Amino acid sequence: MPQIIVWIFLLISGAFATVHRLAVETSLYWYYSWFDIIMHLWGGALIVLGVFALCSLKHVPLKPTTFIITTTLLILIVGWEVFERMAGLYEPSTYIYDVSKDIIVGITGGAIGYLFAIKFKL
């Protein structure tokens, strides 16, 4: 049976996907500029919890080291920003500010996810 971290990750990921879909369908990202901040914070935490969840599986011979967590977090955050740029999901006049903010907020979310996992010994 998977460890509790896997179930926590799946539950929070499902909620994230649901909120994102609703936000796109109802244009929350465009009506409320702060909504993007919440989702990047949540996404950063999910990335870190995902690393802990994957590493907890018995067929994955990895431990969630600081290096693995940080590298995964940065690759996925920067990768998402590249995706947004390539998909045209950006405002040219505020692009540098928005990308910088998104990266900082994503890393902050990752730190929150890390502290959560450590505190609850996941």
Dump strand ranges (E) for the chain: none
SS3 20: helix
pLDDT in tens, 31-86: 998 999 999 999 999 999 999 999 999 999 999 999 999 999 999 999 999 999 99
Evaluate if residue 1 carries a pLDDT over 80: no
N- to C-terminal Cα separation, the chain: 15
pTM of the model: 0.93
Q: What is the distance between the alpha carbons of residues 105 and 33, in angstroms, rounded to a whole number?
A: 14
Q: What is the distance between the alpha carbons of residues 110 and 114, in angstroms, rounded to a whole number?
A: 6
